[in-house]
């Protein structure tokens, strides 16, 4: 598969497929496509797998798009302003991403619901227990809120974050939470009671404008009813 990401702050992934090649997206993800592409809707592994996927913010059914001849094009547009992160998934190198991040992926990539192992990170981590885990072999394209900042953490290296800014990370990176120090910092610092702690080794991708922050900013500007 060949692909191109276009559109700036309103990105679209345009995939060029070979004959018989298939890409997968959640329902409603396709923007436009050539006539020579067939669509099939499936749970992607049975009803239980489809139901499990809904916990990570995706739809129960997936759409499979297969080219019936070479050179067929299909495009998938992001749901909001931001960036599309293209990641090659390789065997033994899984990627953990924020829920609802999957835009489109190749057929040999598998998506599963991922539960954070540490109870504290789930209760106080700001994004809940449930994330998405990508495994297999192929390209995956993720929707990112705002711009992308990439860090390569060495073994034992730590990065403190506001949890909503975590877009994706390699499965070798651990995620935990720690309490903000100092009563004045907790009460007046605006960061809440806990912050996130990422620990290497591995690569992490941060996003500059979590959609929840953007929504809260817009809501704060809407005049309240009389």
Rounded Cα distance, 122 and 31, in Å: 35
Domains identified in the chain and CATH numbers: 2-219 (3.60.160.10)
182: alpha, beta or left? (left if phi > 0; alpha if psi -120 to 50): left
Closest to 89 (Cα-Cα) out of 24, 161, 36:
24
- CB-based contact 59:49 (threshold 8 Å): no
- CB-based contact 78:12 (threshold 8 Å): yes
Strand (E) positions, 137-226? 138-145, 148-153, 158-161, 166-170, 174-179, 194-199, 202-207
Rounded Cα distance, 84 and 97, in Å: 13
**pLDDT for position 79:** 85
**pLDDT for position 40:** 94
- CB-based contact 97:142 (threshold 8 Å): yes
28: alpha, beta or left? (left if phi > 0; alpha if psi -120 to 50): left
**pLDDT for position 61:** 84
217: alpha, beta or left? (left if phi > 0; alpha if psi -120 to 50): alpha
- CB-based contact 125:163 (threshold 8 Å): yes
Closest to 49 (Cα-Cα) out of 164, 117, 126, 133:
133
Rounded Cα distance, 216 and 140, in Å: 29
- pLDDT less than 70: residues of the chain: 44-59, 116-129, 179-193, 212-218, 220-221, 224-226
**pLDDT for position 49:** 59
**pLDDT for position 42:** 85
């Amino acid at each position: 598969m060949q692909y191109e990401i276009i559109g700036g702050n309103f990105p679209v992934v345009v995939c060029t497929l070979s004959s018989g090649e298939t890409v997968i997206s959640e329902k409603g993800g396709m923007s436009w496509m050539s006539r020579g592409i067939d669509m099939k809707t499936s749970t992607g592994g049975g009803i239980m797998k489809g139901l499990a996927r809904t916990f990570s913010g995706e739809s129960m059914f997936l759409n499979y798009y297969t080219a019936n001849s070479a050179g067929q094009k299909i495009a998938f547009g992001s749901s909001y302003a931001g960036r599309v992160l293209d990641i090659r998934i390789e065997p033994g190198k899984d990627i953990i991403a924020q829920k609802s991040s999957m835009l489109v992926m190749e057929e040999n990539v598998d998506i599963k619901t991922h539960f954070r192992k540490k109870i504290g990170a789930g209760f106080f981590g700001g994004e809940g227990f449930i994330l998405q885990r990508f495994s297999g072999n192929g390209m995956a394209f993720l929707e990112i809120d705002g711009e992308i900042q990439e860090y390569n953490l060495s073994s034992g290296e730590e990065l403190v974050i506001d949890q909503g800014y975590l877009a994706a990370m390699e499965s070798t990176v651990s995620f935990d939470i720690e309490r903000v120090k100092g009563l004045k910092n907790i009460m007046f610092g605006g960061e809440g009671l806990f912050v996130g702690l990422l620990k290497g080794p591995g690569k992490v991708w941060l996003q500059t404008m979590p959609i929840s922050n953007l929504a809260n900013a817009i809501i704060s500007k809407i005049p309240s009813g009389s």
